[in-house]
Structure 1
Amino acid sequence: MAEVTLDTTSKRMISLVIPAFNEAGNIEVLVQEALDLLPDDLLGEVIVVDDCSTDDGVARLRALSAREPRLRVLRHAVNAGQSASVRSGVAAARYPLIATLDGDGQNPPGDIPALVAAYDPAGPQLVGGVRAKRRDTWSKRTASRLANALRRRILHDDCPDTGCGLKVFERDRHLALPFFHGQHRYLPALFRAYGAATAYVPIGDRPRQHGASKYTNWRRGLQGVPDLMGVRWLVMRARPVGAQEVS
């Protein structure tokens, strides 16, 4: 990827990164909603990272980008997962402040300004959304509560809802983190381990309108245990260091 020139004229303008995989029924509507709702002095660009989808979502987004210059569409050559999609979008971003949304449309774009307002370069450098009333099945809500409780006990990250896709954070801090498959679920713990402060803001949650979730409770559990142990090791070994030039 070519080197990115950051636009630092406004510290509060964001690159909105949306990972998507087979979300043709949701992604176009979500992007248009973000473009319509978010003010021009906040939203610098929308970057959708398509993770090698097999539907026509990319074709729809290309048509939208022809009339919406702030929309950029990236596409993975192979399916690489949500964490890789987020990282590709962040690496391509032209603004130093990032907001992320899940591509299924369940995170309301209208809640982004509240997270940006809570962000501060001096801390918190990551602000996460907390879904006040989840629009998922009872089994998913229960599994999420148990997983969040276990993760907080092991990682001490004080994050009430790490699975919420709506987050605001600093681009360079994200790119400096160790990368691995599943990283997006552990950003609060990793940001804290490497010297950043975190905060959380209540947001809305909406039912999925089209398609099906790419995750099941069984799949999350199988992936989550080794990931959790790996992140615990990273957190224990992390040594945030700052250096200043001596004049």
Structure 2
Amino acid sequence: MQESFDVLPEALLGELIVVDDCSTDDSTVRLAALRARHPRLRVLRHTANAGQSASVRSGVAAARFPLIATLDGDGQNPPGDIPALVAAYDPAGPQLVGGVRAKRRDTWSKRTASRLANALRRRVLRDDCPDTGCGLKVFERDRHLALPFFHGQHRYLPALFRAYGASTAYVPIGDRARRHGASNYTNWKRGLQGIPDLMGVRWLVMRARPARTEEIL
């Protein structure tokens, strides 16, 4: 978290929201110490573990600014890459800009599984996203909150944004070894959970009918 305050321009960083998904470590103590030095830090805590998608949703809903940047709390996403994504964003489109990890620091098996999963998802959803698993994204708050919410939603944001009338773009970013925590997923577990999610999102995409309105009086 401290790194975000160190590397991001003050004019760009309106606030930093951390969502504690009912952690059992000393996160609260560490965040309290950081909050004493940085008043723009806000800390939310789930009273029960709800998962990554719910954590993203909670943070976006609490945000006070119209443009959101998300990144995972494990330290793999460099916050210094956020300005490049913001520079690619445009209210007229793209309304979502995603990071693409140029040099993955994961194991060979995880990189291979990710490539296969991304290829399958692009074929089924036609979202043209090369790296949906990258946590670093910039998007419009109101568009995100208007999307249908479900467990696992964060993996399908590009497809959902496109289905509901937004456009997307992607920017190469760095990738680092995990600095905090441990992954809760194996390749096998992710695959078993991913197929039903993929079919469900395909149904949502096919049924989406974005309404475009303008105020005339």
TM-score by length of 2: 0.98
RMSD: 0.7
Q: CA deviation at 1:209?
A: 2.7
Secondary structure of 2:130's match?
coil
* 2:49 alignment counterpart: 79
Q: CA deviation at 1:210?
A: 3.8
* 1:208 alignment counterpart: 178
* 1:199 alignment counterpart: 169
Instruction: Tell me, in whole angstroms, the C-alpha distance in 2 between the residues paired with 1:157 and 1:32.
Output: 34
Q: CA deviation at 1:132?
A: 0.2
1:233 to 192, 199, 203: 203
* 1:96 alignment counterpart: 66
Q: What is the 5 A alignment of 1:1-247?
A: 31-247=1-217
Q: Deviations over 1:118-162 (max 9, x none)?
A: 000000000000000000001100000000000000000000000
Q: Is 219-228 or 152-161 further displaced after alignment?
A: 219-228
Q: CA deviation at 1:116?
A: 0.1
The AA in structure 1 aligned to 2:209 is R
Aligned length: 217
Q: Deviations over 1:187-238 (max 9, x none)?
A: 0000000000000000000011343222211221111010000000000000
Q: Deviations over 1:6-43 (max 9, x none)?
A: xxxxxxxxxxxxxxxxxxxxxxxxx1000110001100
Q: CA deviation at 1:246?
A: 2.5
Instruction: Tell me, in whole angstroms, the C-alpha distance in 2 between the residues paired with 1:44 and 1:246.
Output: 33
Question: Structure 1 pair 211/246, CA: closer, same or farther in 2 (3 Å)?
Answer: closer
Instruction: Tell me, in whole angstroms, the C-alpha distance in 2 between the residues paired with 1:244 and 1:208.
Output: 45
The AA in structure 2 aligned to 1:55 is D
Any unmatched runs of 5+ in structure 2?
Answer: none
